[in-house]
Copies of this chain bind each other. A is one copy, B any other.
Amino acid sequence: MFYRKITAEEAASLIKNDDVISLSGFTATGCPKAITRALAARAEVEHVRGNPLKVGLCTGASTGESVDGVLSRVNAIKFRTPYQSNVDSRKALNDHDIHYFDLHISELAQYLRYGFLPKPDYAILEVCDITESGKIVLTSAVGVAPTIAHLADKIIIEFNRYHPRELVGMHDIYEPIDPPYRKEIPIYSVSDRIGVPYVQIDPRKVMGIVETDLPNEICSFTPLDKLTEQIGKNTADFLHGEIKIGRIPLSFLPIQSGVGNVANAVLEAMALNKEIPAFEIYTEVIQDAVIGLMKKGRVKFASGCSLSLTTPVLNEVYAELSFFKQKFLLRPQEISNNPEIIRRLGLISINTALEADIFGNINSTHIAGTRMMNGIGGSGDFCRNAYLSIFTTPSTAKGGKISSIVPMVSHVDHSEHSVKVLITEHGVADLRGLSPIQRAETIISNCVDDQYKDVLWRYLKLGQRGHTPQNIDVALSFHDAFNKTGDMRNVQW
């Protein structure tokens, strides 16, 4: 091979304290794994010796155990952006051991290019193929790889044999020119191909190649239950109704669907509702549910940033790669989440709220206003620019101790202006054209759990004068009750 073969340990030894490392991948798929594990092992040793070794870490989105997990447990991350979902990194950033910069997924690449974020010293890229002239084929995700590959002065390759070389052609790599010279991004339908199937790197920047054979680290979701199925059904019924009324075209529109259990339930329910035509997906994360629906012919095409599939399902895709290569495109996150494309294609965006309030604001990130869960991810890119933006949530959590619908969310990620429809297992609140007081009445009537209806009606009567009748005195009292007693039902005024 044209490139120098090195071990993961040799690769890790190149990285110095305070370096910024940037990785391919998006969610726990397509990320390098061996070098970051070796780096964590090295950091542990150095820290015992009293030597500092902490890096800035920039990835497409979240990663898996082999990146955020091992590195945050040995306290080797100084700065982190743009997203994470690992239990140990979550703890570290909530303890301020990691400085975490939460960012809209679509903005990362351009913020790096504009110099708004630290320049990456290293790009570490997982590939399934590489040529002498520096054409690399990524694996099961794109993320921010094209941008870090040309910004970083040094590149290390993880050549992961787990992924077949035949993946070539599944990626559509395109990087826009920056203002003042930027042109349109020429995607006019979900399956439009606008770039090339490889990332071009400068071969002279490659410090070495580490060979691996490691599966992705995607966890499976808990199976659907009656509650998530009901949320899915409510959403599908609502969309069906919108088609009938003519507010969604008969030919339907592309779907963006968030990550997780509720999102899967929504897709399954949409597929079951035969009044909804077979549909296309334009999203960031392609999950297990999509594969089954493709086989059934209910999903026609999926454009995303990553195949975030569990190992058995990814293996299924790889076993029938020639079929699935006609069904997928993997794009850089700057394109999968691009406002221009989202608005042009007219996506129906369906995302999960951590918490909503009766006036229609959404908290996607913070537990009780202080503790970061994961990050905003792509939810803001999609909901703000969608044709129609829907948020779903179970009406309660922790066996009823938490109402997902409160007087005032403890942190706002999506303001009332971005939230058109709110759906729980109890029903649908269509907020379009409603004033705050009308929104509150609709949400309490249709979406709130019975255990919390009375108290929220009472809250509304306490409202101080104004367009949005909050009561500033007790607006956060649900959270206060939860912090102090572990149960929002103990709220008192």
Binding site for B on A (CB under 8 A): 79, 81, 93-96, 99-104, 111, 114-118, 178-180, 182-186, 188-189, 245-247, 249, 251, 253-254, 339-340, 343-346, 361, 366-372, 376, 380, 384-385, 387-388, 408, 410-417, 420, 432-435, 437-438, 463-470, 472-473, 475-476, 479-480, 483
Contacts and interface: CB of A to CB of B under 8 A. Distances in A.
B101 A370 contact: no
Nearest to A102: B417
A267 B488 CA distance: 49
B94 A435 contact: no
B480 A81 contact: no
Contacts of A467: 93-94, 96, 100, 366, 370-372
Contacts of A189: 180
Contacts of A185: 184
Nearest to A245: B115
A387 B340 contact: no
Contacts of A343: 182, 339-340
A66 to B, nearest CB: 23
Contact of A480 (B118, B369, B380, B473): B473
Q: Which of A103, A179, A413, A414 counts the most chain B CB atoms within 10 A? A: A179
Contact of A370 (B117, B246, B465): B465
Nearest to A111: B432
A435 B101 contact: yes
Contacts of A464: 368, 370, 483
A82 to B, nearest CB: 10
A432 B111 CA distance: 9
B184 A184 contact: yes
Q: Which of A79, A115, A118, A184 counts the most chain B CB atoms within 10 A? A: A184
A157 to B, nearest CB: 27
A103 B179 CA distance: 28
B370 A103 contact: no
Contact of A435 (B96, B376, B472): B96
A297 to B, nearest CB: 20
B475 A346 contact: no
Given A180-B189, A343-B340, A344-B340, A472 B466 contact: no
Contacts of A473: 476, 480, 483
Contacts of A249: 179-180
Given A184-B186, A340-B339, A346-B182, A370 B463 contact: yes
A414 B340 CA distance: 19
A345 B101 contact: no
A271 to B, nearest CB: 20
A176 B103 CA distance: 30
Contacts of A186: 184
Q: Which of A246, A420, A463, A472 counts the most chain B CB atoms within 10 A? A: A472
Nearest to A183: B188
A434 B102 CA distance: 9
A179 B247 CA distance: 12
27 contacts: A99-B434, A99-B437, A102-B417, A103-B417, A115-B246, A116-B388, A179-B249, A179-B387, A182-B345, A182-B346, A183-B344, A184-B184, A184-B340, A339-B340, A368-B472, A369-B466, A369-B468, A370-B463, A370-B466, A370-B470, A370-B472, A371-B467, A380-B417, A413-B417, A415-B415, A473-B483, A475-B476
Given A93-B435, A114-B387, 12 more contacts: A79-B433, A96-B435, A100-B435, A102-B416, A116-B432, A180-B249, A339-B343, A340-B343, A368-B472, A369-B470, A412-B412, A472-B480
Contacts of A416: 102
A348 to B, nearest CB: 10
